[in-house]
Amino acid sequence: MQAAFAEAVEGLKLLIRYNDGRNVADYQFRRTVDGLISSFYDDIGLLVQVPLRSLFDLFVIKVLYVERASRDASIIDYLGGMLTRYLYTRELFPFQGPGGRPQPFYFFSHLLQEMEQGPVRFQNLFEAYRRYGDHALFLTGIFPQTFRRGRRRLDPSYYISTGKLCYRKAAEHELAEATQMRPLLQKLSRHFELYMDALNELSERYVMGLDMNLIADKMLDNFNRYRETGDERYLENARRYAALLRIDEARFPSLFRRPRPYIIPN
């Protein structure tokens, strides 16, 4: 399962790279993407260990390439890598505050202060600008709800504007040419809000929550299979999906009824 899943996602990425500059998300492509996402939800009783990079690549392909008709292969690859990297606490909270405590909200002025003291954390200014852009895009994309909580509500526009600025500064650096990242960084700066919006959807459906429409489909599929076959395993799976959906047991008694005990005749 793991190898086949990763191989299928890599096949999609190869197709995107081969057709870089145009979108080839036709019916078959979309069906393949949806089938892979569906397979991730198939066995509700098991935690399927698939490569995280493949999983995030698939989600990015879904929300950006399929849903928003992106045409840039390098953006798909970059965002998949960024999401995988930011899973690690050191990357998610890369900046230390007083007492060595991690600081999730890192301001542009802090970056400038660090660079004045010398590139301790970053090898060069190009890397510092690029990483700050990534940090701003990740926070506003994956954790938009953070800006709406607590007494000190933060304005996401600050991170949007500074994220765009840092990507632009990185694109203007001489190392952007040496690393062949200039066009990519220019697009990240120019279309920051588009990528942020795609990551908002990715976060809501696949990272911070579950795709409830897909869960509902899985529940109904298993319940119908139970009615066709009488196999109690399908009924149990349907109940598990129903629990995720928080379905009222009183409204759907046939789903939650207990099987009659089978009495062996004398």
SS3 letters across the chain? CHHHHHHHHHHHHHHHHHCCCCCCCCHHHHHHHHHHHHHHCCCCCCCCCCCHHHHHHHHHHHHHHHCCCCCCHHHHHHHHHHHHHCCCHHHHCCEECHHHCEECCCCHHHHHHHHHHCCCCCCCHHHHHHHHHHHHHHHHHHCHHHHHCCCCCCCHHHHHHHHHHHHHHHHHCHHHHHCCCHHHHHHHHHCHHHHHHHHHHHHHHHHCCCCHHHHHHHHHHHHHHHHHHCCHHHHHHHHHHHHHHCCCCCCCHHHHCCCCCCCCCC
Phi/psi at 178 (5° precision): -65, -35
Q: What is the pLDDT of residues 129-148, one digit of tens each?
A: 998 899 899 989 988 877 66
CB-CB contact of 73 with 22 (8 Å): no
- Residue 153's pLDDT is 60
- Rounded-to-integer distance, Cα 159 and Cα 142, Å: 13
CB-CB contact of 150 with 138 (8 Å): no
- Residue 102's pLDDT is 45
Return the closest-CA partner of residue 196 out of 235, 159, 168, 224.
159
User: pLDDT by residue for the chain (266 residues), tens digit each?
Assistant: 678 888 999 999 999 999 999 999 999 999 999 999 888 766 554 445 677 889 899 999 999 999 999 999 999 999 999 998 886 544 444 444 445 444 444 444 444 455 445 555 557 889 889 988 998 999 899 888 776 655 556 678 888 999 999 999 999 999 999 999 999 999 999 999 999 999 999 988 877 655 556 667 767 777 787 778 888 777 776 666 565 555 444 544 544 454 444 344 43
Angle at 221 between CA 218 and CA 217, to 5 degrees: 40
DSSP state of 265: P
What 3-state DSSP class applies to 161? Answer: helix
- Residue 180's pLDDT is 96
CB-CB contact of 81 with 112 (8 Å): no
What 3-state DSSP class applies to 137? Answer: helix
CB-CB contact of 202 with 217 (8 Å): no
Phi/psi at 103 (5° precision): -115, 105
Q: What is the value of pTM for the model shown?
A: 0.71
CB-CB contact of 198 with 64 (8 Å): yes
